């Protein structure tokens, strides 16, 4: 029961906090007053109580897109463990289901964008699928390295099997996987240096442009789904960098949550000091992530 | 101490990849300089790991320290300084259009590493003793150096390739012989030094003569 | 086993009478469709019996052909291939009955039904044949029947061209198969499958099988006939050809592996390599296409790659004694055969419906069809999601098995097979991402947005018969996905006969993956419940609130037109640019210039690098060589007779002179 609370309820409540922390960090770094920490909660509350406007071009696919995407991400959440406890749904190969549920969410967001017939949204959709196609191998190969390291096949066992001891003898491979997952995290969540979430009206954006036409509850679903996706990938990353002792403990949960906050602060700092990469350079970044994963695998394999 | 050596080797691999993926000459020169400094520390680490493993081995000798310092000074300070100067004189900041695009170079770099690990598994076991990453990373560094020499157009990039290759040979020598064959090492270093020196002079003059340092265009010189 | 004979009989009679009644359109169609449906359903009966663990008595009659007997049997492997051979053509025939109305008067429909039923009959015979001669006979009939189906619209030059390419390719493949069967049958001087022996030449036979069967299956670089022939054929024929006919190549390959017994490890490596190459290049080439059916044809190459990947991992597992990997690899590959038949059949039927409604296959001419053709759109969407391996549909299940096998091999402490497994993981992940990109493009541009041309604007939904087939296949895709915990254990007999492992071992390993599959279905249930909850929530929230209609927001531009929508070419451009090394896309047209640009245009065309870079020069070379032999050919009958006599004489001397044959 506590596992259910920790793994489901906590993310459901806390996920919208992450974008808030990122934005606060950016505001502090820039010396601005900035938006409140709970801005996304206010936004969601406001959007849920609003009506909606639909383009005459759109069809049921546009209306289904946000719902399917949010449902897929919420299902993925059931697979991700937190704080050493096992996830409600864990079985051999669940990480594959996780990756493809993310794919399902993306598939429908992209189709909803294409349904509007807008050239802008088509452009964003095109870039989204392009970068996702390169991020996926990096992610799965990185997890394969961890599977080899821990000798297990489910996300719960892999993340639970990582311990502090592994950092002492396997630091290089863990660091590589963490770097690869960090790049995937930034790409999938459309953060700098891949995408700039603040440039709503420029041709450089990816995720934000795809959802230009959504409004009301649909848009709330999308915002919440994005926050949840950030939580899921962030939780995996944090538990790689800050592994536990192999046992369930409130301390580990605390460390994980602190890690999530730290990650959000880190992202905010990266966004404050870095510029977005040119679009043509992004594939190279993702290839680097793949290279990190392959290197990690080579390093793990040499031990066997 | 093997973990530290492993970490150093992984760092070397990462720097090689960074070199392959970077178009800014100044950044490339700095990467190679960092590699040089890191490698200068390698013999000290190796000796240290041996002494901690068996107390019979001799500890740090004055000669070792001298060689390390010399290596760091030439690779980490002298070469980069000469190259940066040459680059400033030639007024080029970026590699123009390499024969192999940067993403493909990165893939090729990873492939050299895979190939090197395979090679090591085929080599006689005497090659495989010691820290496990030393030999494959050395081989891959040599290959990456070759790759840079072959795939880049600018003379400065090619010099960088030679230095990286020399770094690889240096690590390989350390891995195989365990103590620095001082004479060989000094010889190689001297070679590289002369190469850098001559190249930077040549680069300087080519750029003054023709206003660019694109080696590819030197084709037109052949009668 | 008499089911098979009855099925073949029904198919042939149906086809023949359909041909004879060609002048009475309705009767001819009824006979053709009825024959195909009835024949296919009869063939399904023994297949189902075998898959559920039953046994079907074989037929073995003495035969006047040399080397062997007339022998039909159905083991698990045959039954697994027989099932899609029964289901897909039956549905395609129902669809085709309505689809072919548009061709009335342009071609002989009776002949088309004759060849369609002949094609199905030959495939039924092919997978149940247990004699090399019978197998090759069925193989050849299958190739010729499909050739005539491809060239149905033979008044169009591109169709004729496609037909010739196909005919040449398939015969090159058959030549290699002949050599292979002679090597196999040589040691025991019999063409019966149970007397086949490798005779120490396993490697050579394996390579011959890769080339011979790979040509039919569409392994890169032997795939070049596929993107020509599939678009040229009528859509229900494309569905059958792409859905199952090319799988007979996979069947032949797996059957050959059975003959060869314990495999060498490098065979698995070869298959994994071919799988990744075909998968990645197939989907990349598909991304660059503008022709909907050509795009689907390249996706067949991709999926054949995934199948080869699974089989390759299985072979590596067998060679290394890792039975878990062997079972998972073969099970994934074989299940993907069935799954691909379902979703690719569905997609080709959907593409046919689009062609039927609009008269064009050019993706960039289409758009907004979802409102005109809701049923076609919905089924095509399910097919697109299934081929992109999205849960909870069937494509995900088979890829999951291959992934799981790979992760097993990586994580197992004994190691060994880790490297091919990692290649498979990376390859599958990349293929999956690219396939999703390709099908968001195909579905999004064809069915969503506004019509890009008058052709799309005047489209209409297709007749009920065509819709029925598509809906049935959609149901299959969903059922095979959601019911996977029930479906996968049925693979036991097939995996057992493909790997040579005991049935119990195969069942045991398949039962082991029952738990993950059950949980995946559990995940699907969660997904649907959450989705339902969200839909209810959205409905409650929007009830009583203002829901407005407006134009698509376009950043303030006042006069948008449908032509300004993102096209398929632009959608795929970042990816085709990134992989330009493999694609060599040609661009033509004027660039946009100046402050007020006028009439700029861009035309892109992506040729098949293997077709243009390898086969065309090779055939040009062969043509040149043949030109040099022209002097032999001058039309004088006497000289031809002389050639024959000389050949016979040489053969006679060679056979009778003991010193020449003594070495053998």
pLDDT tens digits along C159-173: 888 888 899 889 999
User: What's the mean pLDDT when you consider all of chain A?
Assistant: 90
Q: Is the pLDDT of residue B121 over 80?
A: no
Q: Is the pLDDT of residue A161 over 60?
A: yes
The confidence band for C201, taking pLDDT boundaries of 50, 70 and 90, is confident
What is the pLDDT at residue C385? 95
Helices C109-128, C247-260: inter-axial angle, 10-degree rounding? 20
Say if CB A237 and CB A189 are below 8 A apart: no
A126 CB near a chain B CB, below 8 Å?
no
The confidence band for B191, taking pLDDT boundaries of 50, 70 and 90, is low
Nearest CB neighbour to C534, from listed A57, A221, A283:
A221
Spell out the residues 6+ positions from residue C93 whose beta carbon is closer than 8 angstroms to its own.
Answer: C32, C33, C36, C37, C40, C116, C236
What are the chain C neighbours of A79 within 8 Å (beta carbons)? 523
The confidence band for B203, taking pLDDT boundaries of 50, 70 and 90, is low
- Coil, strand or helix at C131: strand
**Range C51-74 average pLDDT:** 83
Which residues, numbered 105 to 134 in chain B, qualify as contacts with chain A under a Cβ-Cβ cut-off of 8 Å? 106-107, 109-110, 113-114, 117, 132-133
Q: Is the pLDDT of residue C415 over 90?
A: no
Q: Is the pLDDT of residue C525 over 70?
A: yes
**Range C418-443 average pLDDT:** 94
Q: What percent of chain A has pLDDT over 70?
A: 97
Say if CB A185 and CB A234 are below 8 A apart: yes
Give me the residues paired with residue C548 across strands: A53
Say if CB C424 and CB C313 are below 8 A apart: yes
Nearest to A104 by CA among A136, A126, A72, A78: A72
Q: What percent of chain A has pLDDT over 90?
A: 61
Give Dmax over CA atoms of chain B in angstroms: 65
The confidence band for C292, taking pLDDT boundaries of 50, 70 and 90, is very high
What are the chain C neighbours of A120 within 8 Å (beta carbons)? 554-555
What is the pLDDT at residue B51? 63
Which of A263-272, A279-288, B156-165, C627-636: highest mean pLDDT? A263-272
Q: What percent of chain B has pLDDT over 70?
A: 70
Same domain, C520 and C615: no
Nearest CB neighbour to A298, from listed B6, B109, B117:
B117
- Coil, strand or helix at C184: helix
Q: Is the pLDDT of residue B132 over 80?
A: no
Q: Least CA distance to C525: which residue of chain A?
A: A75
DSSP characters for C543-564?
TTS-EEEEPPP-TT-S---GGG
Nearest to C170 by CA among C186, C149, C154: C149
Say if CB C589 and CB C602 are below 8 A apart: yes
Q: What is the DSSP letter of C613?
A: I
Cβ-in-10-Å burial (0-12, 13-18, 19+) of A128 comes to buried
Same domain, C613 and C502: no
Spell out the residues 6+ positions from residue C648 whose beta carbon is closer than 8 angstroms to its own.
Answer: none
Helices C76-99, C492-499: inter-axial angle, 10-degree rounding? 120
What is the pLDDT at residue B222? 57
Q: Is the pLDDT of residue B206 over 70?
A: no
Say if CB C238 and CB C153 are below 8 A apart: no
Nearest CB neighbour to A287, from listed B10, B14, B106:
B106
Closest CA of chain A from C337, distance in Å? 20
Number of Cβ atoms within 10 Å of the Cβ of C270: 18
According to DSSP, the β-strands at C603-605 and C59-61 are unpaired
Contact flag A291-B103 (C-beta cutoff 8 Å): no
**Range C226-242 average pLDDT:** 91
Nearest CB neighbour to A75, from listed C408, C429, C527:
C527
Nearest to A126 by CA among C285, C280, C445: C445
What is the pLDDT at residue B56? 46
What is the pLDDT at residue C612? 80
Contact flag A78-C523 (C-beta cutoff 8 Å): yes
What is the pLDDT at residue A199? 67
Q: Least CA distance to A134: which residue of chain C?
A: C430
Contact flag C408-A114 (C-beta cutoff 8 Å): no
* Cα–Cα dist C597/C591, whole Å: 9
The confidence band for C664, taking pLDDT boundaries of 50, 70 and 90, is very low
For residue C419, how far is the Cα from the chain centroid? Answer: 28
Q: What is the ipTM of this complex?
A: 0.95
Same domain, C504 and C623: no
Same domain, C388 and C456: yes
**Range A206-230 average pLDDT:** 92
Q: Is residue C149 part of a domain?
A: no
According to DSSP, the β-strands at C59-61 and C70-72 are antiparallel
Same domain, C587 and C653: no
What is the pLDDT at residue B220? 61
What is the pLDDT at residue B128? 59
- Coil, strand or helix at C514: helix
Pick C57 or C398 by higher pLDDT: C398
Total domains in the fold of chain C: 3
| H helix runs in C321-368, sequence order | 323-358
Phi, psi angles (nearest 5°) of residue B109? -60, -45
Strands (E), C67-113: 70-72
* Cα–Cα dist C94/C574, whole Å: 40
Nearest CB neighbour to A294, from listed B6, B14, B110:
B110
Q: Is the pLDDT of residue C301 over 90?
A: yes
DSSP characters for C260-283?
H-SPPHHHHHHHHHHHHHHHHHHH
Q: What is the DSSP letter of C224?
A: T
Cβ-in-10-Å burial (0-12, 13-18, 19+) of C513 comes to buried
Q: Which long-range contacts (CB under 8 A, 24 or more apart) does C159-163 make?
A: C159/C232, C161/C228, C162/C225, C162/C228, C162/C229, C162/C231, C162/C232, C163/C229, C163/C232
| pLDDT tens profile A6-31 | 788 999 999 999 999 999 999 999 99
| pLDDT tens profile C440-466 | 999 999 999 899 888 888 888 999 999
User: What's the mean pLDDT when you consider all of chain B?
Assistant: 76
Give me the residues paired with residue A163 across strands: A244
**Range A144-148 average pLDDT:** 92
B102 CB near a chain A CB, below 8 Å?
yes
Helices C418-447, C265-287: inter-axial angle, 10-degree rounding? 20
| pLDDT tens profile C364-406 | 899 889 999 999 999 999 999 999 999 889 999 999 999 999 9
Cis peptide leading into residue C61 (ω within 30°): no
Say if CB C31 and CB C97 are below 8 A apart: no
What is the pLDDT at residue A98? 95
What is the pLDDT at residue C564? 83
Say which range, A5-14, A180-189, B43-52, has the weakest mean pLDDT: B43-52
Give me the residues paired with residue C549 across strands: A54
What are the chain A neighbours of C538 within 8 Å (beta carbons)? 67, 217-218, 221
Interface test with C, best of A122, A147, A203 (most C CBs within 10 A): A122
Q: Is the pLDDT of residue C661 over 60?
A: no
Give me the residues paired with residue C392 across strands: none
What is the pLDDT at residue A268? 93
Instruction: Give the start-to-end residue ranges of the domains of chain A.
Output: 2-303
Number of Cβ atoms within 10 Å of the Cβ of C358: 24
Say if CB A287 and CB B107 are below 8 A apart: yes
Say if CB C346 and CB C473 are below 8 A apart: yes
| SS3 assignment for chain A | CHHHHHHHHHHHHHCCHHHHHHHHHHHHHHCCCCCCCCHHHHHHHHHHCCCEEEECCCCHHHHHHHHHHHHHHHHHHCCCCCCCCCCCCCCCCHHHHHHHHHHHHHHHHHHHHHHCCCHHHHHHHHHHHHHHHHHHHHHHHHHHHHHHHHCCCCHHHHHHHCEHHHHHHCHHHHHHHHHHHHHHHHHHCCCCCCCCCCCCCCCCCCHHHHCCCCCHHHHHHHHHHHHHHHHHHHHHHHHHHCCECCCCCHHHHHHHHHHHHHHHHHHHHHHHHCCCCCHHHHHHHHHHHHHHHHHHHHHHHHHC
| pLDDT tens profile B47-98 | 777 665 554 445 566 767 777 787 788 888 888 888 888 788 777 777 767 7
Instruction: Give the start-to-end residue ranges of the domains of chain B.
Output: 2-221
What is the pLDDT at residue B103? 84
Q: Is residue C307 part of a domain?
A: yes
Interface test with C, best of A59, A72, A100, A173 (most C CBs within 10 A): A100
- Coil, strand or helix at C412: coil
What is the pLDDT at residue B193? 67
What is the pLDDT at residue C609? 81
What is the pLDDT at residue B181? 58
Same domain, C608 and C655: no
Range of the domain at C307: 267-535
Q: What is the DSSP letter of C565?
A: S
**Range B126-150 average pLDDT:** 82
Say if CB B87 and CB B29 are below 8 A apart: yes
Helices B102-122, B2-21: inter-axial angle, 10-degree rounding? 140
Contact flag C404-A48 (C-beta cutoff 8 Å): no
């Amino acid at each position: 029961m506590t596992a259910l609370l920790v793994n489901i309820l906590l993310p459901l409540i806390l996920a919208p906090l992450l974008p808030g922390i990122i934005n606060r960090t950016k505001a502090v770094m820039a010396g601005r007053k900035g938006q409140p920490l709970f801005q996304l909660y206010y936004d969601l509350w406001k959007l849920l109580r609003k009506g909606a406007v639909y383009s005459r071009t759109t069809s049921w696919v546009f209306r289904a897109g946000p719902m399917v995407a949010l449902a897929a991400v919420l299902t993925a959440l059931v697979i991700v463990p937190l704080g050493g406890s096992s996830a409600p749904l864990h079985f051999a190969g669940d990480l594959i289901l996780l990756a493809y549920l993310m794919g399902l969410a993306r598939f429908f967001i992209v189709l909803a964008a294409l349904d509007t017939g807008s050239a802008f949204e088509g452009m964003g959709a095109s870039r989204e699928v392009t970068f996702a196609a390169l991020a996926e191998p990096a992610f799965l190969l990185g997890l394969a390295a961890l599977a080899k390291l821990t000798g297990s096949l489910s996300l719960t066992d892999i993340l639970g099997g990582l311990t502090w001891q592994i950092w002492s003898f396997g630091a290089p491979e863990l660091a590589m996987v963490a770097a690869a997952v960090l790049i995937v995290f930034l790409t999938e969540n459309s953060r700098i240096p891949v995408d700039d979430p603040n440039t709503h009206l420029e041709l450089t954006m990816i995720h934000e442009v795809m959802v230009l036409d959504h409004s009301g509850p649909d848009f709330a679903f999308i915002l919440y789904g994005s926050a949840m996706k950030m939580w899921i990938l962030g939780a995996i990353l944090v538990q790689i960098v800050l592994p536990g002792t192999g046992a369930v403990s409130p301390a580990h949960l605390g460390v994980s949550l602190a890690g999530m906050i730290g990650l959000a602060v880190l992202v905010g700092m990266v966004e404050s000091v870095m510029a977005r990469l040119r679009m043509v350079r992004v594939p190279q970044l993702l290839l680097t992530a793949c290279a990190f994963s392959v290197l990690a695998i080579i390093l793990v394999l040499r031990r066997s | 101490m093997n973990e530290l050596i492993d970490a150093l080797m992984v760092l070397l691999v990462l720097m090689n990849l960074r070199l392959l993926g970077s178009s800014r000459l100044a950044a490339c020169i700095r990467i190679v300089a960092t590699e040089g400094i890191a490698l200068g520390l390698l013999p000290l680490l190796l000796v240290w790991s041996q002494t901690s493993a068996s107390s019979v081995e001799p500890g740090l000798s004055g000669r070792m320290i001298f060689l390390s310092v010399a290596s760091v000074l030439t690779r980490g300070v002298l070469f980069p300084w000469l190259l940066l100067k040459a680059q400033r004189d030639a007024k080029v900041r970026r590699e123009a259009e390499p024969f192999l695009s940067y993403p493909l170079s990165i893939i090729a770099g990873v492939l050299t590493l895979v190939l090197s690990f395979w090679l090591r598994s085929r080599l006689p076991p005497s090659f495989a003793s010691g820290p496990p990453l030393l030999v494959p990373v050395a081989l891959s560094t040599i290959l990456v150096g070759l790759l840079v020499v072959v795939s880049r157009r600018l003379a400065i990039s090619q010099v960088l390739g030679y230095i990286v290759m020399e770094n690889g040979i240096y690590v390989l020598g350390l891995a195989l012989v365990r103590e620095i064959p001082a004479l060989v090492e000094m010889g190689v270093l001297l070679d590289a030094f002369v190469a850098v020196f001559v190249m930077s002079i040549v680069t300087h003059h080519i750029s003054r003569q023709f206003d660019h340092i694109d080696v590819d265009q030197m084709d037109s010189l052949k009668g | 086993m008499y089911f098979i004979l009855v099925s073949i009989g029904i198919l042939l009679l149906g086809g023949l009478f359909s041909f004879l009644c060609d002048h009475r359109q309705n009767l001819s169609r009824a006979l053709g469709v009825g024959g195909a449906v009835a024949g296919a359903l009869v063939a399904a009966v023994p297949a189902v019996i075998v898959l559920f663990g039953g046994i079907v008595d074989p037929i073995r009659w003495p035969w006047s052909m040399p080397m062997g007997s007339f022998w039909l049997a159905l083991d698990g492997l045959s039954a697994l291939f027989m099932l899609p051979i029964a289901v897909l053509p039956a549905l395609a025939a129902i669809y085709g009955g309505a689809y072919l109305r548009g061709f009335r008067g342009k071609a002989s429909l009776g002949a088309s039904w004759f060849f369609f039923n002949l094609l199905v009959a030959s495939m039924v015979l092919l997978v149940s044949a247990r004699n090399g001669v019978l197998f090759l006979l069925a193989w050849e009939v299958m190739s010729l029947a499909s050739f005539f189906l491809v060239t149905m619209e033979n008044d169009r030059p591109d169709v004729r061209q496609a037909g010739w390419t196909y005919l040449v390719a398939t015969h090159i493949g058959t030549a290699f198969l002949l050599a292979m069967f002679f090597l196999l049958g040589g040691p025991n001087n019999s063409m019966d499958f149970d007397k086949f022996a490798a005779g120490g030449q396993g490697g050579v036979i394996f390579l011959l099988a890769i080339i011979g069967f790979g040509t039919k299956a569409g392994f890169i670089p032997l795939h070049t006939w596929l993107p020509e022939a599939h678009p040229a054929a009528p859509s229900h024929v494309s569905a059958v050809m792409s859905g199952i006919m090319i799988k007979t190549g996979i069947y032949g390959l797996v059957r050959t592996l059975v003959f060869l017994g314990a495999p060498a490890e490098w065979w698995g490596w070869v298959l994994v390599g071919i799988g990744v190459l075909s998968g990645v290049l197939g989907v990349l080439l598909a991304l660059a296409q503008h022709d909907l059916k050509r795009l689907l044809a390249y996706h067949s190459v991709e999926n054949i790659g995934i199948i080869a990947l699974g089989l390759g991992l299985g072979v590596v597992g067998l060679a290394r004694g890792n039975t878990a990997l062997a079972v998972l690899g073969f099970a994934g590959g074989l299940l993907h055969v069935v799954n691909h038949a379902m979703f690719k059949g569905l997609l080709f039927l959907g593409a046919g419906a689009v062609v039927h409604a609009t008269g064009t296959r050019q993706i960039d001419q289409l758009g907004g069809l979802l409102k005109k053709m809701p049923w076609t759109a919905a089924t095509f969407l399910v097919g697109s999601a299934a081929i992109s391996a999205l849960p909870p549909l069937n494509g995900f299940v088979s890829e999951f098995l291959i992934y799981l096998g790979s992760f097993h091999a990586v994580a197992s402490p004994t190691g060994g097979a880790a490297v091919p497994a990692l290649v498979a993981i990376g390859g599958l992940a990349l293929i999956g991402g690219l396939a999703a990109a390709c099908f968001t493009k195909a579905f999004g541009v064809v069915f969503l947005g506004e019509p890009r041309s008058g052709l799309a604007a005047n489209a209409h939904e297709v007749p009920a018969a065509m819709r029925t087939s598509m809906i049935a296949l959609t149901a299959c895709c969903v059922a095979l996905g959601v019911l996977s915990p029930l479906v996968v254990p049925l693979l036991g007999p097939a995996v057992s006969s493909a790997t040579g492992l005991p049935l119990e071992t195969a069942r045991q390993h398949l039962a082991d993956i029952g738990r993950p599959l059950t949980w995946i279905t559990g995940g699907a249930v969660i997904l649907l419940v959450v989705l339902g909850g969200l839909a209810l929530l959205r409905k409650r929230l929007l009830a009583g609130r203002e829901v407005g209609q407006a134009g698509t927001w376009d950043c303030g531009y006042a006069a948008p037109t449908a032509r300004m929508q993102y096209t398929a070419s632009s959608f795929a451009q970042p990816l085709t640019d990134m992989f330009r090394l493999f694609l060599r896309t040609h661009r033509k047209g004027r660039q946009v210039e100046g402050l007020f640009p006028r009439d700029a245009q861009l035309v892109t065309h992506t040729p098949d690098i293997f077709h243009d870079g390898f086969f065309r020069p090779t055939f040009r070379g062969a043509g040149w060589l043949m030109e040099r032999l022209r002097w032999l050919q001058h039309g004088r009958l006497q000289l031809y007779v002389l050639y024959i006599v000389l050949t016979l004489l040489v053969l006679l001397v060679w056979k009778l002179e003991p010193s020449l044959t003594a070495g053998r």
